[in-house]
Amino acid sequence: MAAKRTIAHLDMDAFYFSVELLRRPELRGEPVIIAGTSPRAVVTTASYEARMFGIGSAMPVFQARRRCPQAISVPVDMAHYREVSGRVMALVDELDVPRQRVSLDEVYLDLSGVRDPVWRMSTLVRRIAEAERLDASVGIGPSKLVAKVASDAEKPRGFVVLSREEAAKRFASEPPTLIPGIGGRTAERLERIGIRTLGELQARSVDQLRSAFGERHGPYLSARARFHCDSPVAEGEAKSRSVESTFDRDLGRIIEMEEVLAHQSTRLSEELRRRNLAGRTIAIKVKLDDFTTITRSRTVAEPTNDAATISHTARALLRAYAPPRPVRLLGVRVAAFAAPGAAVSQPVRGENLSLIAS
């Protein structure tokens, strides 16, 4: 029989904003948006006061400004947030249990077999508050899914412990989007077949969901709604690296676009070399002015992190595509990592195709 799992999810409360408050206490009580400075920037996070105006993450800054002209803008300072996050994670590491860092402000811990996990987590939260003057919420359950939803349930400074059955019952009246992995598109499709809550999703048979959502997605939705989840707490290795940028004004000339790709390839190459990574698949991303997004990729015979190779391939992919409209975003990605210089024995089909394409 499998050992009982105990998983905790630690989620820092309004992390970026709380970090900013520590160095700018005068922002307390004010509507604040933390966002980039370009004309096309979006809101990274907003204070609770700004959220009362309907401002939320990922909203275009110009729209946020329209909703709340008096909002104070604070530029994003990722380097600083990263530094503070590093200190918080060092405290997490002192627990000496398997952990999976999800982002700067979230981490899962596997406390299976650990004596008194509730006490261990409340002690951790207290230590973070004492050392960094930052609050966090915690969820504890038998899986990452239960822990994650539990940590969100009573924010800020929440501390929720639930079994799978308790979670399924407690959140039955909530919308399906409460579950990580069920987003807006899936929620729309669920609504079309009369499912508006997790309880209604739980009530549907796997077969019904399979016929509506397919062989894999149907059973996945059924299991998630019932809070079944067995994914392990483990730090995954990176699968890809990319660099992309949205322009202040759309680009129309291919030569300008190629310059951008060359510059991005250099940046990406430096990043890959720093991390000792090399990949065989090189891809570009192009977003047109009508928001159509396309990707084009080519797999080369040997893993590479060479700027010239990445740049040459990316520019060839762009020329083969020949954007039919002005371009607002360009990006380069390298994936399918392997040891640098590790040749692949078979010729690659994509390579041949690309010669035709370019």
Any idea which residues carry the catalytic annotation? 106
Beta bridge partners of 159: 138
- Report how far apart, in Å, the C-alpha atoms of 286 and of each of 187, 256, 297, 321 are: 28, 13, 12, 9
Q: Take residue 45 and report the two structure tokens written for it.
A: 């996070």
List of residues 6+ apart from 104 with CB closer than 8 A: 15, 81, 82, 85
CB 218 within 8 A of CB 206: yes
Closest approach of DNA to the CB of residue 225, in Å = 13
Distance between CA atoms of residues 200 and 147, nearest Å:
22
- Report how far apart, in Å, the C-alpha atoms of 322 and of each of 259, 291, 351 are: 15, 16, 19
- In the complex with DNA, the residue whose CB is nearer, 114 or 178, is 178
- In the complex with DNA, the residue whose CB is nearer, 64 or 162, is 64
- In the complex with DNA, the residue whose CB is nearer, 194 or 347, is 347
Closest approach of DNA to the CB of residue 215, in Å = 6
Alpha helix stretches (DSSP H) within 275-348: 307-321
Most distant CA atoms of the chain, gap in Å: 63
Distance between CA atoms of residues 283 and 298, nearest Å:
6
- In the complex with DNA, the residue whose CB is nearer, 90 or 294, is 294
Q: State the residues that interact with DNA by CB under 7 A.
A: 36, 39-42, 44, 57-58, 60-62, 65-66, 102-106, 148, 177, 179-187, 214-217, 236, 238-246, 271, 280-281, 283, 291, 293-299, 328-329, 331, 333, 335-336, 344, 346, 348-354
Closest approach of DNA to the CB of residue 6, in Å = 20
Three-state secondary structure call for residue 343: coil
Closest approach of DNA to the CB of residue 261, in Å = 13
Closest approach of DNA to the CB of residue 58, in Å = 3
- In the complex with DNA, the residue whose CB is nearer, 142 or 218, is 218
Three-state secondary structure call for residue 118: helix
CB 109 within 8 A of CB 7: yes
